[in-house]
Amino acid sequence: MSAFALTRRSRLALPAIAAAALLVASLAIGVAFGARLGALMVVGGLLGMVLYHAAFGFTAAWRVFITERRGRGLRAQMVMLAIAVVLFFPALASGSLFGQSVYGFVAPIGVSVVVGAFLFGLGMQLGGGCASGTLFTAGGGNARMLVTLLFFVVGSVIGTAHFTWWQSLPAFQPVSLVRTVGAGGGIGISLALFAAIAALTVVMERRRHGGLEQAPRVDAGNRRWLTGPWPLLFGAVALALLNFATLSLAGRPWGVTSAFALWGAKGFELLGGDVSQWGYWQASWNAKALEASVWGDITTVMNVGIMVGALVAASLAGKFAPNFRIPARSLLAAVLGGILLGYGARLAFGCNIGAYFGGIASGSLHGWVWLVAAFAGNMLGVKLRPFFFEGQAARVPTAKGC
């Protein structure tokens, strides 16, 4: 048992305290920076709860498919993306949503994206999680993921130092399905691709196992919605809807890793460094973020919300019990994986959320390129895992859902 295991009284009090802290912080941010930003912290909290209770991750889903040809997690991702494009494309085509100007994450396709996504994919398997997974599992009490998160930040700020050089390498101009073939055409193409990927996983799983894995039966009682676990497909639907809520409030899709770069840059400057001359921080948007309060940053506020929401979920489930006994090789993997995650995300214009989920939901072809390159990185990462996790490549205790 962890030295940090909670007493019964603490288990009952912690969720209420965490939820109250989230609401108070949301109100304070709403007063200081505007109601939309306060509401986005609440959206972040809901994202954290969904991610934790549905155990909705990307890293484990990809690893299980690579090693065992089980595709239930990948098919859930396709459902999530399908719902997202149906909601996003009409709004992006019109340029506004509920009176809010909106835009998607559309980025160039080049060497930087391919290399960055590959490194990110490798980091997923070594670090034990993706961007969203690192946040919700760290918030849920996984001590090892706090190490991954710390070095995720380190890798992110290093990536900003090298960003200009990577962007000087060959690349194609950004391509958006919404702009190229319209909202309807883009939805049709996207749904066909999602269906093809889902069908491929079905064929490969049946070929390996003779049938499809059955989803665990989940009690749908009222208490279960508080304590979890939730059905995986419920998580897919909820994440798509909450990303759409983010689009309506923030004017752009859900993102995670730009905040890590910002945290790292501000931390580096506190230590006496200067990032203002780096090309990444000379872009107007990034320069403004660097000069402003970190609490005025949309991504930061949502990230904090995710961690607190996951804390609420973990404590409701009675599973918040951090354990700081981390084997040396596992610790090394967390350090290396975190650096690769942060560095790769900067090169690739985002992570599994901003580039994969947000990019594809925006109709950007760079999101599809990211998927292919990151999956290749995961394949290498799976091969390297036995060295760090004593040969238990598929069964090592990793971040829940990641």
Structure tokens at 3: 């030295």
CB contact at 8 A, 344 and 117: yes
Q: Residue 3: inside a domain, yes or no?
A: no
Q: Residue 393: inside a domain, yes or no?
A: no
- Say what the pLDDT of residue 112 is: 98
- Say what the pLDDT of residue 392 is: 47
Per-residue pLDDT tens, the chain, 402 aa: give them. 444 445 555 566 888 888 999 999 999 999 999 999 999 999 999 999 999 999 998 999 999 999 999 999 999 999 999 999 999 999 999 999 998 999 999 999 999 999 999 999 999 999 999 999 999 999 888 999 999 999 999 999 999 999 999 999 999 999 999 999 999 999 999 999 999 999 999 999 999 999 999 887 766 566 677 888 999 999 999 999 999 999 999 999 999 999 999 999 999 999 999 999 999 999 999 999 999 999 999 999 999 999 999 999 999 888 877 878 899 999 999 999 999 999 999 999 999 999 999 999 999 999 999 999 999 999 999 999 999 987 544 344 344 444
Give the integer Cα–Cα distance in Å for 62 and 378. 7
Beta strands in 48-205 (DSSP E): 96-97, 100-101, 109-110, 171-172
From the CB of residue 325, how many other CB atoms can be counted at a distance below 10 Å?
Answer: 8
Residues of the domain holding 158 = 8-214+224-388
- Say what the pLDDT of residue 323 is: 79
φ, ψ for residue 176 (rounded to 5)?
-115, 125
State CA 285 to chain mean position distance: 22
24: which residues sit within 8 A by CB, 6+ positions away?
none
- Say what the pLDDT of residue 119 is: 98
Which burial class, exposed, middle or buried, applies to 270 when counting CB atoms under 10 A from its CB (0-12, 13-18, 19+)?
Answer: exposed
Give the integer Cα–Cα distance in Å for 275 and 285. 14
From the CB of residue 387, how many other CB atoms can be counted at a distance below 10 Å?
Answer: 13
- Residue (of 37, 60, 35, 57) closest to 48 by Cα position: 57
Q: Residue 394: inside a domain, yes or no?
A: no
Question: Please, what is the angle between helix 131-139 and helix 298-316, to 10°?
Answer: 50
Total domains in the chain come to 1
User: Longest C-alpha distance within the chain, in Å?
Assistant: 60
Q: Residue 154: inside a domain, yes or no?
A: yes
From the CB of residue 168, how many other CB atoms can be counted at a distance below 10 Å?
Answer: 12
Q: Residue 262: inside a domain, yes or no?
A: yes
The type of residue at 122 is L
State CA 51 to chain mean position distance: 10
φ, ψ for residue 150 (rounded to 5)?
-60, -45
Element (H, E) at 287: helix 284-291
Q: Kindly list the distances between the CA atom of residue 389 and the CA atoms of 64, 68, 88, in Å, as whole numbers in the listed order.
A: 16, 18, 40
Q: Residue 351: inside a domain, yes or no?
A: yes
Q: Residue 395: inside a domain, yes or no?
A: no
CB contact at 8 A, 54 and 230: yes
Q: Residue 397: inside a domain, yes or no?
A: no
SS3 of 301, please?
A: helix
